[in-house]
């Protein structure tokens, strides 16, 4: 049966890298990690296809069961009614098996997909070396406990405009803040990100053509977090680095990149329009004009068009 073909795939696909390390006495190279990542990703995609097929077949069985049981209720002859019931019961067993297979393949797909991303990440770290400052997710500097304005295009105002924004000035504590364009009002609670949200700074593109890493560009005065990762300065324009390679580990040069950001569940995007200003070295792109005026869950999407004119996109989730 087609659903039995992937039983050991998630285990077998990881063996070559392990075998390489054991037989040669050497640490796998970046190329080894990328090659194994491609194989593991293929296993994940195969498992996902089989999971989808199992779900579709299960839906067909469910419809057949409903039809057979309806026919059994209408059948006048006891023998025909009994045969229809037996057929429905047999299909019910098949339905249960298909549902179980669908869950197994779905879980296998998720597991092997994560394994593939880990392999690509390790390969990228080995290949790019010191150009990757930190493997940690991007976080915000905890220099303020405020929740920033919901929509800066509307709510980033001078203090003398506060009454027109629906917030009486006598209710605003402006101690410690300069009287200039401010984002401290009105204070809003942030939304809750899903508990299993992937906030890794390493991500694969939607069409699985590219693998990328983002991090805050080092600048004087920036705070560092764990693993030397630079923290996002709240409510300040800053720069990022986007490192981009293909799934063979080769830098992607000369790409046209558009950046779009938003907060899920909110009605606004970024307060600025960040853009790639130049390519610092092969595959290393400088992103300028990044700014976050509100804590919470942000989605940053990089729309890519390579030299081959193939369009793709890479999405990063941030919880700031």
What the chain holds in terms of domains, given with CATH numbers, is 2-130 (no CATH), 132-142+189-319 (2.60.40.3340)
Please compute the mean of the pLDDT values over residues 276-285 and round it to a whole number: 97
> CA-CA distance, 2 to 50, in Å (whole number)?
8
pLDDT at 148 > cutoff 70: no
Cis ω on the peptide bond leading into residue 108 (within 30° of 0)? no
Q: What is the pLDDT of residues 61-113, one digit of tens each?
A: 999 999 999 999 999 999 999 999 999 999 999 999 999 999 999 999 999 99
Q: How far is CA 277 from CA 44, 180, 291, 306, 307, in A?
A: 36, 29, 16, 16, 17
Q: b vs e for 203-212, b when ≥16 Cβ sit within 10 Å of the residue's Cβ?
A: bbbeeebbbb
Mean pLDDT, to the nearest integer, of 163-169?
A: 40
pLDDT, average across residues 33-41? 97
pLDDT of residue 280: 96
Residue 157 scores a pLDDT above 50: no
At 224, the pLDDT band (50, 70, 90 cuts) reads low
Whether the predicted pLDDT of 287 surpasses 70: yes
Tens digits of residue pLDDT in 179-198: 444 444 444 445 678 888 99
């Amino acid at each position: 049966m087609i659903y039995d073909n992937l039983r050991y795939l998630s285990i077998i696909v990881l063996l070559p890298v392990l075998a390489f390390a054991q037989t040669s006495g050497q640490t796998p190279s970046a190329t080894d990690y990328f090659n194994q990542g491609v194989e593991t990703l293929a296993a994940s995609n195969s498992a996902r296809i089989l999971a989808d097929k199992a779900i579709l077949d299960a839906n067909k069985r469910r419809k057949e069961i409903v039809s057979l049981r309806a026919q059994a209720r209408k059948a006048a002859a006891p023998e025909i009614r009994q045969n229809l019931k037996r057929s429905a019961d047999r299909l019910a067993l098949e339905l249960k098996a298909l549902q179980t297979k669908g869950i197994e393949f779905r879980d296998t797909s998720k597991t092997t997909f994560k394994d593939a991303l880990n392999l690509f990440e390790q390969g990228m770290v080995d290949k790019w070396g010191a150009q990757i400052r930190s493997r940690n997710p991007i976080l915000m500097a905890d220099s303020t406990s405020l929740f920033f304005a919901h929509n800066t295009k509307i709510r980033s105002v001078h203090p003398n405009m506060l009454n027109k924004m629906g917030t009486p000035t006598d209710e605003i504590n402006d101690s410690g803040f300069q009287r200039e364009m401010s984002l401290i009002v009105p204070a809003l609670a942030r939304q809750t990100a899903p508990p299993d949200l992937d906030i890794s700074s390493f991500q694969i593109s939607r069409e699985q053509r590219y693998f990328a890493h983002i991090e805050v560009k080092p600048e004087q005065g920036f705070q560092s977090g764990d693993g030397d990762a630079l923290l996002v300065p709240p409510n300040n324009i800053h720069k990022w680095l986007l490192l981009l390679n293909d799934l063979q580990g080769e830098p992607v040069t000369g790409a046209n990149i558009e950046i779009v950001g938003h907060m899920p569940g909110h009605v606004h995007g970024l307060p600025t329009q960040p853009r790639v200003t130049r390519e610092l070295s092969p595959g290393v792109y400088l992103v300028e004009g990044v700014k976050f005026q509100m804590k919470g869950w942000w989605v940053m999407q990089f729309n890519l068009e390579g030299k081959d004119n193939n369009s793709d996109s890479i999405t990063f989730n941030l919880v700031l």
